[in-house]
Amino acid sequence: MTGLVSAGVGVVLGDLDRDRCAAAAAEIEAAGLPGRVVPAEVDVTDPNAWSKFARTARRHFGYPTLLVNNAGVLGRQGLETITADEWDRVVNVSQRGTWLGMQTVVPSMHLAGRGAIVNVSSVFGQIGSGAAFAYHGAKGAVAAMTRAAAVELARAGIRVNAVSPGMVRTPMTTGLPEQFVTDFVAATPMRRMATPYEIAAAVLFLLSDDASFVTGTDLIVDGGYAAR
């Protein structure tokens, strides 16, 4: 996000936790980039919340031409043990949230005559792990929706791509079982986790004009995990 702001892009940062958004905005302002980030409380599963989010973006910065769908929650239950509530919780955030985000913002991109969308999937959308059944399903759906939207929107000048991270050092992954993380890193050819900045750099590239002829792709940023 700091890379976008540094490039002069106005950013509306949405999260269910408004305090976390406000703290991130304040951190960017403290880095000497004031007034370019607006925090907003958003439940990505709620179409009304998305409509309010889009209005906020237009009010502060005009018609939005960039969108990053990055909301997600972990779910570790396997096929035989997962409950309906757990399935709904994971799929609603990752899959439904991504769909609603695109559906809400794309009309503004049509009006602007251009746009770029990056949906954050996961390497788990391509490989199995023996658990996390809903998470695998939801992230695989994000990758499929990305390809479908890319074909549908290409002639309108709107590019749609995905980034699929491997294991990233974030607060979400700190809740994973230690042995699972150890085994995942050991199976990663580069023998480490990614940093959030490495994932952000991939997202920034796909949003930028440097990727002007890239659409419908899924950029894997996993240290070689899926290539084994």
* Structural domain boundaries, residue 145: 63-227
List the chain pLDDT tens, one digit each, 228 residues: 667 777 778 899 999 998 888 898 888 877 767 778 899 999 999 999 999 999 999 999 999 999 999 999 988 899 999 999 999 999 999 999 999 999 999 999 999 999 999 999 999 999 998 889 999 999 999 999 999 999 999 999 999 999 999 999 988 888 788 998 999 999 999 999 999 999 999 999 999 999 999 999 999 999 999 999
Q: What are phi and psi of 220, to 5 degrees?
A: -85, 125
- Does some domain include residue 94? yes
Nearest to 199, CA basis, from 168, 172, 176: 168
Per the residue annotation, which of 63, 135, 197, 225 is the catalytic one? 135
Count of the separate structural domains present in the chain: 1
CATH number of domain containing 195: 3.40.50.720
3-class secondary-structure state, position 121:
coil
3-class secondary-structure state, position 23:
helix
pTM, rounded to two decimals: 0.95
User: Which residues make beta-bridge pairs with 11?
Assistant: 37
- Does some domain include residue 48? no
Told to judge if 197 belongs to the known catalytic residues of this protein, a careful annotator would answer no
- Does some domain include residue 45? no
- Does some domain include residue 114? yes
- Does some domain include residue 84? yes
The span from the CA of 92 to the CA of 138, in Å, is: 8
- Does some domain include residue 52? no
- Does some domain include residue 43? no
- Does some domain include residue 15? no
